[in-house]
Amino acid sequence: MTETELLMWARGPALQVATVIFLLGIMVRILEILVLGRKANLAEARGSAVAGGLRTIVTRSFPDRGTLQRSTFNIVAGYVFHTGFFVVLFLFAPHILVFRDLLGFGWPSIPTPIIDATTLVTIITLLAVLLHRVQDKVMRFLSRFQDYLAWFVTILPLVTGYLAFHRIGLTPPTLIAIHILSVELLMVVFPFTKLMHAFTLFMARYYNGAIAGYKGVNS
């Protein structure tokens, strides 16, 4: 297999398969949750469940001060790598092209040196996050194989993307192929792991906020 064939395979059949697994898996998992349903609350409401749910979807992104003080690293590092990942994923011109191809519309990109620096910061943060997971007694205690797997498939596209951008080590088509394949690995692993939280957290936050909001509490 030549590198162009590899690249074409990554951009073609592999991407098709990964997309199917990714979207099908996500739909299955989301619907499995939703279809399970929940009982209507018969207690007299004090506040709005819907408003509470929607509010919590937003407000849960901002931790309370006590938690911020007690878990500073966790929260700051979490913010950095999530933001970094999304900036790189959604604002890098070549990536936007993929979304435009998929969705039929695109959006403006940001300068590549910023993407480049963001990638590096995100990679470093993710390494620190792994170190923290291994060292922090609570996180180490809670961690299962899939936590490390999820970490790996998350950092991999960043690293391969960085290498591809700077064309380090191998020829560009090979590097791009590896990068695309690493993203496809992420897509394939996604529905089977906690990475699903990217979608289900909106449901979780909604339910949390709705349960509290019904009682008049802003959770």
Partner 1 sequence: MSNEKTLGEVLRQQGITRRGFLKFCAATASMMALPPSMVPRIAEALEKARRPSVIWLSFQECTGCTESLTRSHSPTVEGLIFNAISLDYHHTLQAAAGTHAELARTKAMEENYGKYILVVDGSIPVANPAFSTIAGISNLAMLEETAKGAAAIISVGTCAAFGGIPHANPNPTGAVAVSDIIKDKPIINVPGCPPIPVVITGVLAQFLTFGVIPELDALGRPLAFYGKSIHDRCYRRPFYDKGLFAETFDDEGAKLGWCLYKLGCKGPTTYNACATTKWNEGTSFPIESGHPCLGCSEPDFWDGGGFYKAISMPTGDITRTAVYAIGAGAAAGVALGAVNRARKARAQKAHERVTIEDLNKDS
Partner 2 sequence: MSASFKRGINSFKEQMDAPVAAFFSSCVRCGLCSQACLFYTETGDPKYTPINKLEPMRRVWQQEYSFWGKLASALGISKPVTDAELTEWETLVYDSCTLCGRCSMVCPVGNDIAYMIRKMREGMAASGHAPEGLIGATQRAITIGSPMGVKLPALQAQIRHVEKDLGCTVPVDVQGVDYMLLLSSMEIMNFPEFIGAITRIFRHAGISWTISSQAFEATNSGIQIGVSEIAAELVERVVRAATELKVKYVISPECGHAYMAIRWEGPNLIGRPYDFKVVHILELLDELRTSGRLQTSGKETQRLTYHDPCQIARRGGVVQQPRNLLREVAADFVEMPEAGIMNWCCGAGGGVSANERADEIRLKAFIRKKKQLDEINPDALVSACSNCRIQLEDGLEENEMDIPVLSLTEIIADHLVEKEQKEGQQP
Binding interface with partner 2 (CB under 8 A)? 28-29, 32-39, 41-44, 46-47, 56-57, 60-61, 63-64, 66-67, 70-71, 74-75, 78, 136-144, 147, 150, 191-192, 194, 196-197, 200-201, 203-209, 211-212, 215-219
Which span sits near partner 1 by CB under 8 A: 16-24, 45-53, 148-156, 209-217? 16-24
- Using the rule CB under 8 A, is 30 a contact of partner 1? yes
- Using the rule CB under 8 A, is 1 a contact of partner 1? no
Smaller CB separation from partner 1, 10 or 77: 10
Taking the C-alpha atoms of residue 196 and residue 180, their distance in angstroms, rounded to an integer, is 20
Please, how many CA atoms are within 13 Å of residue 11, restricted to the half-sphere of its CB?
15
Smaller CB separation from partner 2, 81 or 162: 81
Tokens, residue 132: 């923290």
User: 9 phi and psi, to 5 degrees?
Assistant: -65, -40
Contacted by 204, from partner 1, partner 2, none: CB < 5 to 8 Å by type = partner 2
User: Is 22 within 8 Å of 192 (Cβ atoms)?
Assistant: no
Closest to 30 measured CA to CA, from 206, 155, 212, 150:
206
Smaller CB separation from partner 1, 27 or 217: 27
Provide, rounded to whole angstroms, the least separation between the CB of residue 182 and partner 2. Answer: 20
Write each residue from 82 to 111 as x if it is in contact with partner 1 (CB under 8 A), else as -, in one continuous string: -----------xxx-xx--xxxx---xxxx
Which parts of this chain interact with partner 1 (CB under 8 A)?
Answer: 2-5, 7-8, 11-13, 15-16, 19-20, 22-37, 93-95, 97-98, 101-104, 108-113, 167, 171-173, 176, 180
